[in-house]
Amino acid sequence: MKEVHILLVEDNEGDIMLTTEALQEGKIINKIDVVRDGKKAIDFLIKKGEYETEATPDIIVLDVNLPKKNGHEVLQFIKNHQDLKHIPVIMLTTSSSKSDINKSYENHANCYITKPVDSDGFLKAIKTLADFWVHIVKLPSN
């Protein structure tokens, strides 16, 4: 199985732990990089500064509510960048706001998932998400 490289853009330590745990439990063969704010996400993607040797991820899991640059700003940057716009972006956030959902799709998010409140629901959502994007969908090659 091809290794799938996931960039997780999340500032909540608990959600980072649950997400990485769910991916490991689901036996998803992948590499996960984590950045904790929107500015670092952009730096990672354009290989700036400390990220100059990082590989381009196959999938981006992006929170809406982030420090420095919010998820909508990061999504818009990705989808307007010639070398990045092909990467699937999954919005994974606590926000169920109609305006956040609409804005995400207007900026070409590939899907929008509201984080379940309880940890069991969260783990199940991540496993389902990973199974779909890693085992079912054919990703573009870098």
CB 57 within 8 A of CB 131: no
Q: What percent of the chain has pLDDT over 90?
A: 58
Average pLDDT, stretch 38-66?
A: 95
Confidence of residue 27 (pLDDT cuts 50, 70, 90): low
Whole-angstrom CA distances from 3 to 14, 31, 65 are 25, 7, 29
Average pLDDT, stretch 114-138?
A: 79
Average pLDDT, stretch 17-27?
A: 75
Instruction: Compute the C-alpha angle 137/139/142, nearest 5°.
Output: 170
Q: How far apart are CA 50 and CA 120, in angstroms?
A: 35
How much is the pTM?
Answer: 0.90
Q: Examine the pLDDT at 119 and tell me if it is beyond 80.
A: no
Query: Other C-beta atoms within 10 Å of 33: how many?
Result: 15
Q: Which segment of 18-22, 84-88, 108-112, 133-137 scores lowest on mean pLDDT?
A: 133-137
The pLDDT value given to residue 123: 78
Tell how far CA 135 is from the center of its chain.
Answer: 17
Q: How far apart are CA 96 and CA 4, in angstroms?
A: 28
Confidence of residue 138 (pLDDT cuts 50, 70, 90): confident
Question: What are the residue ranges of helices labelled H in 35-89?
Answer: 38-45, 71-79
Tell how far CA 47 is from the center of its chain.
Answer: 17
pLDDT digits 0-9 by tens, 63-87: 999 999 999 999 999 999 999 999 9
Query: Please, what is the average pLDDT of the chain?
Result: 88
Closest-CA residue to 6 (of 25, 26, 27, 23): 23
Average pLDDT, stretch 28-50?
A: 91
Average pLDDT, stretch 88-93?
A: 93
Domains of the chain: 4-131 (3.40.50.2300)
